[in-house]
């Protein structure tokens, strides 16, 4: 009797505790008290500013959305929109005709534009941002390590006149993408408050002191803001919390708080979403299991669309066999891209589209289909063997030979992801059909292996961007550090250089397409397709949509987010 009374008491205490916890947990839901959205950033940003190499990830950019002001962005439909909250007028091209004089343009900030401490935004903010994002070799800043050079050493002068910055390029130089200098895709994903340098005692004209300001911006959680939200809490480990910027002069924000938890494990999205802990995310990686799990949940909107990273197969022209362009053409002809795409995305994203231009997507006004004009990527084994036989190769049983010597074996490399592993296995079988033995080797050091050209065939991905003028130069110019397989073609070099320094986007596109056509003829890089990305959001939020043209993704219009009525 004594024992059973004790047991009963224990059970009662346990039940009471559970009931109390249940009641308290229910009452503590802050989402019911404030208009709050919890939007996941699916990795941990490493710094508080996005201009540096280490800080310049999409995760930092998304964390700072609505805080760092910028001058424009591409919209989800692919159209470009200037940010007229920040700008007084669209940027002005003062002179684009190099025969008339130096290339010159100006940006004028909105009259009402202020930082959240009430200090007006001025052209000095723009100038100092350029100084911090320019190459260190330009001399503005000794210790700045920007993720890209904002100016590529082209700027001659920058004149500050109140809210207007006038930029003049060096003689004979032009920049077709000059309007992007302070937009979403710029090195800083916007511009920074220069007055804080002075407030903290740094002289921005001193390269060492500008470096200290730069470090401070990256090291210090920003209390400053020039957008609709400001960061009020958080760290670079768990999450950040944003609340409306009281000095914001644009349209009033519709939510009281936005929480960005950093979540590195996509496998948790389904349960966290079902549990009401998160309202959505725009993950960087494609995950079929997660997509299918989310699609089964009530109240979830899930979209899958072509992302910005495109997969491609590169050949190393320094390999003794692959130096022969005919062999390269045969290899690309034997590879069946449709087979690869169907196996990878046939279930989760059946609307995939094969990529037939390295630089432009099919919805771009500059798109021309160059791959489709050839047999490359078709998996046409007979055509591939024909190319080989015409070039003097012989298929001896299951082995391809040249002058009696076996071709290969070739080292086929990629990084160890499910998608790439499957893809290279298929490529291996495609090559076996034309008598080429390819041995798969996984790479755990993508950058190192590419830089050292430690491969014969490599599948990896490039991140695409609506900005394209420098792409051909980076990928294929004989002096580019990213021309890993060492293609060397004077015509490609000339086209890439011309694209990079064309005065207009139309001309830059023309030269870029010329470079693409030449690269296809060289059978150097075979694009497969753009990796799809997914996005999911709860039906309790409104105004949120994915933007695959911007590294901000869904946060590109964070000032317009709201709760559904």
Binding site for another protein (CB under 8 A): 18, 20-26, 28-29, 44, 46-47, 52-56, 135-137, 143, 145-149, 215, 218-219, 233-234, 237-239, 241, 261, 263-265, 267-268, 271-272, 274-278, 444-448, 450-451, 462-463, 465, 470, 474, 480-482
Tell me phi and psi for residue 85, to 5 degrees.
Answer: -75, -35
Q: Select 205 or 235, whichever has its Cβ closest to another protein.
A: 235
Q: Select 159 or 219, whichever has its Cβ closest to another protein.
A: 219
Q: Select 214 or 224, whichever has its Cβ closest to another protein.
A: 214
Phi-psi region of 14 (alpha: psi -120 to 50; beta: other; left: phi over 0): alpha
Tell me phi and psi for residue 304, to 5 degrees.
Answer: -125, 130
Q: Select 143 or 347, whichever has its Cβ closest to another protein.
A: 143
* Three-state secondary structure call for residue 31: helix
Shortest approach of another protein to residue 76 CB, angstroms? 21
Shortest approach of another protein to residue 28 CB, angstroms? 6
Shortest approach of another protein to residue 435 CB, angstroms? 33
Q: In whole angstroms, give the CA distance from residue 411 to residue 53.
A: 31
- In this structure, are strands 36-40 and 280-281 parallel, antiparallel, or unpaired? parallel
Token digits of residue 68: 């760092």
Shortest approach of another protein to residue 109 CB, angstroms? 26
Token digits of residue 179: 């309007």
Shortest approach of another protein to residue 147 CB, angstroms? 6
Shortest approach of another protein to residue 491 CB, angstroms? 22
Q: Select 149 or 421, whichever has its Cβ closest to another protein.
A: 149
Shortest approach of another protein to residue 317 CB, angstroms? 20
Token digits of residue 175: 């920049």
Q: Select 209 or 480, whichever has its Cβ closest to another protein.
A: 480
DSSP state of 410: E
List CB contacts of 95: < 8 A, sequence separation 6 or more.
101, 102, 103, 104
Q: Select 310 or 332, whichever has its Cβ closest to another protein.
A: 310
Q: In whole angstroms, give the CA distance from residue 365 to residue 535.
A: 26
Shortest approach of another protein to residue 110 CB, angstroms? 29
Q: Where are the beta strands (DSSP E) in 316-380?
A: none
Total residues found in the chain within this entry: 565
Phi-psi region of 153 (alpha: psi -120 to 50; beta: other; left: phi over 0): left
Tokens 């401070």 identify what position?
Answer: 216
Q: Select 86 or 258, whichever has its Cβ closest to another protein.
A: 258
- The H or E element spanning position 233 is strand 229-234
Q: In whole angstroms, give the CA distance from residue 221 to residue 320.
A: 53
Whether 124 contacts 189, CB under 8 Å: no
């Amino acid at each position: 009797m004594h024992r059973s009374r004790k047991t009963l008491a224990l059970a009662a205490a346990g039940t009471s505790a559970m009931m109390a916890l249940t009641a308290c947990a229910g009452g503590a839901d802050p989402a019911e008290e404030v208009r709050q959205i919890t939007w996941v950033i699916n990795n941990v940003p490493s710094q508080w500013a996005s201009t540096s190499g280490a800080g310049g990830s999409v995760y930092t950019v998304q964390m700072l959305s609505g805080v760092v002001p910028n001058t424009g962005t591409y919209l989800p439909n692919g159209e470009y929109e200037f940010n007229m909250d920040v700008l007084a007028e669209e940027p002005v091209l003062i002179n684009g005709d190099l025969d008339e004089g130096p290339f010159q343009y100006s940006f004028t900030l909105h009259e009402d534009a202020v930082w959240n401490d009430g200090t007006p935004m001025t052209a000095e903010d723009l100038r100092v941002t350029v100084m911090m994002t320019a190459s260190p070799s330009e001399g503005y800043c000794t210790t700045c390590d920007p993720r890209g050079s904002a100016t590529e050493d082209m700027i001659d002068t920058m004149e500050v006149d109140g809210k207007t910055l006038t930029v003049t390029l060096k003689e004979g130089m032009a920049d077709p993408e000059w309007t992007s200098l302070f937009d979403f895709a710029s090195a800083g994903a916007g511009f920074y408050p220069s007055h804080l340098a002075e407030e903290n005692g740094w002289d921005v004209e001193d390269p060492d002191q500008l470096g200290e300001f730069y470090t401070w911006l990256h090291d210090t959680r920003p209390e400053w803001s020039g957008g609709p939200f400001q960061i009020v809490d958080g760290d670079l480990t768990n999450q950040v919390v944003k609340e409306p910027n009281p000095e914001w002069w644009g349209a009033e924000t519709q939510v009281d708080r936005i929480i960005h938890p950093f979540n590195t494990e996509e496998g948790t999205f389904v349960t966290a979403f079902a549990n009401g802990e998160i309202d959505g995310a725009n993950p960087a990686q494609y995950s079929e299991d997660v997509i299918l799990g989310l699609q089964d949940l009530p109240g979830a909107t899930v979209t899958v669309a072509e992302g910005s990273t495109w997969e491609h197969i590169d050949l190393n022209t320094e390999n003794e066999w692959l130096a022969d362009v005919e062999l390269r053409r045969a290899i690309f002809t034997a590879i069946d891209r449709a087979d690869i795409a169907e196996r990878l995305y046939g279930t989760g994203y059946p609307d995939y589209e094969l990529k037939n231009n390295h630089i432009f997507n099919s919805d771009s006004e500059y798109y021309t289909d160059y791959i489709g004009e050839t047999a490359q990527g078709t998996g046409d084994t007979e055509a591939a063997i024909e190319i080989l036989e015409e070039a003097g190769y012989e298929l001896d049983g299951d082995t391809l030979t040249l002058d009696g010597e076996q071709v290969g074996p070739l080292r086929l490399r990629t990084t160890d992801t499910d998608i790439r592993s499957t893809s290279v296995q298929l490529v291996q079988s495609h090559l076996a059909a034309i008598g080429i033995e390819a041995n798969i080797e996984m790479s755990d050091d993508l950058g190192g292996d590419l830089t050292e050209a430690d491969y014969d065939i490599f599948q990896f991905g490039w991140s695409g961007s609506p900005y394209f003028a420098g792409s051909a130069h980076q990928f294929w110019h004989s002096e580019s550090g990213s021309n890993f397989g060492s293609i060397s073609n004077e015509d490609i070099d000339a086209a890439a250089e011309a694209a990079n320094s064309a005065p207009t986007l139309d001309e830059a596109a023309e030269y870029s397409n010329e470079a693409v056509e030449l690269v296809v003829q060289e059978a150097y890089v075979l694009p497969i397709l753009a990796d799809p990305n997914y996005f999911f959001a709860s039906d309790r939020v409104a105004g949120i949509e994915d933007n695959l043209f911007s590294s901000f993704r869904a946060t590109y219009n964070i000032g317009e987010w709201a709760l559904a009525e």
